[in-house]
Chains A and B, each alone.
Chain A
Amino acid sequence: MALRLRSSLSKSNFFNILRYNNLGFGTASQTTRHLRTHDPTTLLRVSQNPITRFCNTMAEKLSSVGEHEDANAQVMDFPGGKVAFTPEIKFISESSKERVPCYRVLDDNGQLITNSHFVQVSEEVAVKMYSDMVTLQIMDNIFYEAQRQGRLSFYATTIGEEAINIASAAALSPQDVIFPQYREPGVLLWRGFTLQEFANQCFGNKSDNGKGRQMPVHYGSNKLNYFTVSATIATQLPNAVGAAYSLKMDKKDACAVTYFGDGGSSEGDFHAALNFAAVMEAPVLFICRNNGWAISTPTSDQFRSDGLVVKGRAYGIRSIRVDGNDALAMYSAVHTAREMAITEERPILIEALTYRVGHHSTSDDSTRYRSADEIEWWNKARNPLSRLRTWIESNGWWSDEEESDLRSRIKKEMLEALRVAEKTEKPNLENMFSDVYDVPPLNLREQERQVRQTIKSYPQDYPSDVPL
């Protein structure tokens, strides 16, 4: 997709607004000198003079640049580089006076904000984004109801976060590898995962990619570069850094993208992964869905910083705060971040502010810890779907008729997919023991034999819908 800017300001200004405030630390290529792949001349020099490896290369740059040492601006040498010193005892405040502003392009009513900068989206892409958001919404509603009716054991909706899911996916390429938390099925949907495949996983039948081993919403598809959801919080962040490192080694035009929530940012893995990504200079996008709640824990009980965006600087990572319910803003931010990540080989942190309209999952009733009015307000007044719909309708790309056609078609498809998935056979017993290793070892074969033996002796205790 061509990068075309709709704005009255020049392209260079656009980048300046988003670009990290360069403090003269030099370009990426110079600071990554010691991390380049095998280059005989570079490495020979490095290995012959190991002492230089211990110094920050930035120190060398500064000393070569600032030879005009001012008597007043005295600097001290420490491991890590030169630091100016001050006789005043001054603590850095725990928070800035103003919170970091949030990037947004469409206002609450779906009107374009004047002088906004964003990456232009074609009609095809915009309409697909909106349709997929509608599909996701309908899929969520139907699966949620199915769980309430007892047809599904469990489900977790993405209501309120459709724009984050779909718009971010739209801005990526199919080769970008995704490491999701569990509230990002929209990314799979955008890439072509069918409603039937979603239903198959939720019912754990034999057509499921995961062979019925995981609970619902733990999707995975190596074909679509979407890594199987692992329920543990934030463990996917270091995995994503590793994948990014692998892509960088192979010099691929792709990055790793990982999603997590405000709650996930408290885990140790979050901090370690961000630190690692910065040090390894790995092309990875960290997209935080700050939806205000971690089950019943509001963000005020989760952290005391100004959200997630300020944490990026602590690790040396470029960051941005985006209105997560604004599809155009999400698209632009992710698109720009992706280019930066790949061409400059750096991680980017994107904090998408949003609201979790649904309950945490079907095991939760969120009205117990927040007011129904609050939920209702976000669902109506700040709905990501209606804002994008207004915009595409204003361009003449959508109509009421297409809306009702889409909704009735998707609903029918969804119900059919549910019906088929429910009726499909479950995977057979052998799948309980396969894929633990590449080939089942002796002890597992023995254990399978024992299970089958027990079933033969007590067939009435064995579930009738799992084939042997």
Chain B
Amino acid sequence: MSAILQGAGAGAAAALSPFNSIDSNKLVAHSRSSLSVRSKRYIVAGSDEGTNKSFGSSSLIARRSQPLMIPNAVAATKADTASSSTPSKSGHELLLFEALQEGLEEEMDRDPHVCVMGEDVGHYGGSYKVTKGLADKFGDLRVLDTPICENAFTGMGIGAAMTGLRPVIEGMNMGFLLLAFNQISNNCGMLHYTSGGQFTIPVVIRGPGGVGRQLGAEHSQRLESYFQSIPGIQMVACSTPYNAKGLMKAAIRSENPVILFEHVLLYNLKESIPDEEYICNLEEAEMVRPGEHITILTYSRMRYHAMQAAKTLVNKGYDPEVIDIRSLKPFDLHTIGNSVKKTHRVLIVEECMRTGGIGASLTAAINENFHDYLDAPVMCLSSQDVPTPYAGTLEEWTVVQPAQIVTAVEQLCQ
């Protein structure tokens, strides 16, 4: 687990405990310095966000005739932070799915135990082209095409991990991994514990999820809400090419089983990422836009809706702080806590259903740990508890839109 969390453990544990009194000034000062240190790293992503993002030529998007809100959201806000230095002028531009592939390829080059298994990942290159070219380079045994049985190939990955390999298991769509729930919950999450630490399961389970463009109810699921209770696994969600590559690499190197959630609609995001090697911390949240008035917690695609709303809010005179929580299990309560202590208002924007989603758990965690710092109840914007309709207009209204975020912020900041 992250050194940052460990090091801050003593302080953070004291701070987060409801039983002790907290020297909040001291903690905020501490957080400010660490925030600026960390924010330097994140500013790379932040400043680049404004420049090169575009959805490219996703065929899914091309089908729709009316103008889309999403590209506007994406071509959005420049992060207005104090330090605007970009660490390296050189870098290369690529799309999110290419960033995932680059991360995967680098790890497969670095460690011969890393392998990929899933449906159509081999010569076909994967349904979203994340594994394109890997079978040609590494061979059919390291990039394995499996028959259609999610429970079986997830189980296979777990067995291979217990004997020394580091499989990256791809679910063609996260929703299909419901069929692998047994293996993920009972074997993947538990075997390290029940074997007394004798066997480790360093697998990465990844795939696209979330609401897409009229993919139908079965292909628009948010598995993070179903998996979040499983003990023994970690969950992360990527949202930019930078953190996609970084999280992919970190997940592969982790000794714990990690589930990496990608989003169907974000695969064609373009960004310039550094040439030099880097990884992102699995347990850290990402400060997208520092602010003073309200903390907006979000992840994956909703980050872009939040940022578009932020543009509108800035024009209206608000100063929202947008944090991409990235780590869905465990939550980065350190970053989140420091933000809450600063702004005293929290809005959670998620794509999960209202009942039992990530937002629900996050609301509970914030209320429990930071109750004293809140000036208003935690508000959570989620999708409704309905299966995602096929009709495009209805589908759009099951997902939180920037206008709703603006209204919610105005309401909270009264």
Q: Which residues of A contact B (CB under 8 A)?
A: 34-39, 43, 46-47, 50, 53, 177, 179, 208-211, 213-214, 218, 220-222, 227-228, 230, 232, 235-250, 256, 268-269, 272-273, 275-276, 279-280, 434-443, 445-446, 449, 453
Contacts and interface: CB of A to CB of B under 8 A. Distances in A.
Contacts of A441: 1, 5, 283, 330
A272 B151 contact: yes
B252 interface: no
Contacts of A35: 140-141
Contacts of B196: 208-211, 213, 220, 228, 435
B183 A238 contact: yes
A234 to B, nearest CB: 9
B22 to A, nearest CB: 15
B155 A273 contact: yes
Nearest to B186: A232
Nearest to A211: B196
A232 B182 contact: yes
A434 B231 CA distance: 12
B195 interface: yes
Contacts of B9: 442, 445
Nearest to B140: A35
B197 interface: yes
B182 A228 contact: no
A317 B164 CA distance: 26
A438 B200 contact: yes
Contacts of B199: 220, 222, 227-228
B171 interface: no
B162 A243 contact: yes
B154 interface: yes
B163 interface: yes
B198 A209 contact: yes
Contact of B159 (A46, A220, A241): A241
A32 to B, nearest CB: 10
- 7 A-B pairs with the lowest CB-CB distances in the bound complex, closest first: A238-B155, A242-B159, A239-B159, A272-B152, A38-B139, A242-B156, A228-B195
Contacts of A228: 191, 194-196, 198-199
21 contacts: A35-B140, A38-B142, A47-B123, A211-B196, A220-B194, A222-B198, A228-B194, A235-B182, A239-B156, A239-B159, A241-B152, A244-B159, A245-B141, A245-B160, A249-B165, A269-B151, A273-B156, A436-B192, A436-B193, A442-B16, A446-B13
A235 B186 CA distance: 9
Interface in B143-172: 144, 146-147, 149, 151-165, 167
A10 B187 CA distance: 47
B162 A239 contact: yes
A435 B6 CA distance: 16
Name, among A222, A241, A256, A441, the residue most crowded by chain B CB atoms within 10 Å (CB to CB). A441
A28 to B, nearest CB: 15
B197 A434 contact: yes
B140 A209 contact: no
A177 B163 contact: yes
B191 A179 contact: no
Interface residues of B, number: 64
Given A441-B283, A442-B12, 5 more contacts: A210-B198, A222-B199, A230-B190, A250-B164, A435-B196
B256 interface: yes
Nearest to B167: A242
A443 B159 contact: no
Interface string B222-254: 000000000110100000000000000000001
Name, among A35, A53, A228, the residue most crowded by chain B CB atoms within 10 Å (CB to CB). A228
Contacts of B1: 437-441
A46 B139 CA distance: 11
Nearest to A254: B163
Interface string B317-342: 00000000000001101100000000
Contacts of A240: 159
Contacts of A280: 144, 146
B115 interface: yes
B141 A436 contact: no
B141 to A, nearest CB: 5
A243 B163 CA distance: 6
Interface in B259-304: 283
B140 A36 contact: yes
A236 B195 CA distance: 14
B80 interface: no
Interface string B345-370: 00000000000000000000000000
B335 to A, nearest CB: 12
A246 B165 contact: yes
B17 interface: yes
Contacts of A43: 136, 139-140
B138 interface: yes
Contacts of B182: 232, 235, 269
A437 B256 CA distance: 6
Contacts of A39: 139
B195 A222 contact: yes
Contacts of A47: 123, 135-136
Name, among B19, B147, B156, the residue most crowded by chain A CB atoms within 10 Å (CB to CB). B156
A443 B144 CA distance: 36
Contact of B149 (A221, A227, A230, A272): A272
B195 A220 contact: yes
A39 B141 CA distance: 11
Contacts of A243: 159-160, 162-163
Nearest to B138: A38
B140 A238 contact: no
A438 B151 contact: no
B255 interface: yes
A238 B153 contact: yes
Contacts of B193: 213, 435-436
B139 A437 contact: no
B187 A232 contact: yes
A212 to B, nearest CB: 8
A280 B149 CA distance: 14
B162 A227 contact: yes
Nearest to B161: A242
Interface in B38-63: none
Contacts of A449: 13, 17
A235 B194 CA distance: 15
